[in-house]
Amino acid sequence: MSRTRPVATAVLAAALVAACATTTSPTGRTQYVGAVSQAQLDQLGAKAFAEQKASKPQASDAAQRRYVACVTDSIVAGLPAQWRAYRWESAVFVDDEPNAFALPGGKVGVYTGIFRVARDHHQLAAVIAHEVGHVVARHHDERITRQVGAAGAVNLLGALAGDYGQVATQGGSILAQAGFLLPNSRAQESEADVVGQRLMAEAGYDPRGAVVLWRNMAEAGGARPPRWLSTHPDPASRLRELDTRAASLEPVMEQARRAGRMPRCR
């Protein structure tokens, strides 16, 4: 068995590399994707989410959980059919870090620290829409495709092949192996800003909420920005871009509201 495992892993790695392809991101950027199927990505996302729920305490405040679920559902309602088809699930984790994430398979996590900077539902929508933007822009697929062929990919491939128990023991968690919660690249963060701000406007949220959110985030960090901002674009230029886009997205918000998409999450 020990002799055949490296061969099987090598064959699987070769097959995944052969399956890689280029595509165009929502902002026109060339992406390398396809090392794993969408079904496999969803499986990894579900495992990572379960792992996070097992390792981090969840908030006991039912109103807080309903609030996050309401905002998540309103963002998801405006997604293309491919992404709406998932049974989206959200969770609120007890952690002072102002952070959030979304995973393939329709999983959204918010840390309680985010409520210090996202002070109304427009600002929380900016957080969640930004994270959902990473999913719909296929950033997780892009990240894993870059990992294939690297040393760490062996454990990830073992997880995809179903040998999760051994991976968890020998190679660390799915979160670590897939790198799902590690900082994204600046190109991906900028792209998630673009995609997320449109998603929130299409859901009827004020796109200027994104400007206020990131201003609050930068101010909360002081001389040492929160970890969430470590690979994000320069705060000043980011705010300018968000502000400019907000003006152009106001008609999108107004159209959504005329169509009955009037979020009432509190």
**pLDDT, tens only, 133-180:** 999 999 998 888 887 655 455 555 555 554 434 433 344 465 655 666
Give the global pTM.
0.83
Q: What is the pLDDT of residue 7?
A: 45
Q: Predicted confidence band at 186 (pLDDT cuts at 50, 70, 90)?
A: confident
Cβ burial, residue 29 (10 Å; 0-12/13-18/19+) = middle
Label the pairing between strands 107-111 and 100-103: antiparallel
Q: Predicted confidence band at 182 (pLDDT cuts at 50, 70, 90)?
A: low
Compute the mean pLDDT over every residue in the chain, rounded to the nearest whole number: 83
Structural tokens at position 163: 């040998």
Q: Predicted confidence band at 230 (pLDDT cuts at 50, 70, 90)?
A: low
Q: What is the pLDDT of residue 165?
A: 40
- DSSP structural state of residue 101: E
Task: Let me know: does 51 contact 61? Beta carbons within 8 Å.
Answer: no
Give dist(CA 109, CA 101) in Å, integer.
5
**By C-alpha distance, which of 50, 218, 58, 38 is closest to 138?**
38
Structural tokens at position 154: 């062996």
Catalytic residue among 89, 131, 189, 191: 131
Predicted confidence (pLDDT) per residue in 64-123, tens digit: 999 999 999 999 999 999 999 999 999 999 999 999 999 999 999 999 999 999 999 999
Does the annotation count 131 as an active-site position?
A: yes
Write the CB contacts of 228 (distance below 8 Å, at least 6 apart in sequence): 97, 98, 99, 100, 217
Here the contacts of 22-27 (C-beta below 8 Å, separation 24 or greater) are 23/138, 25/137, 25/138, 25/191, 26/136, 26/137, 26/191, 26/194, 26/195, 27/190, 27/191, 27/194, 27/195
Is the pLDDT reported for residue 8 higher than 50? no
Q: What is the pLDDT of residue 1?
A: 41
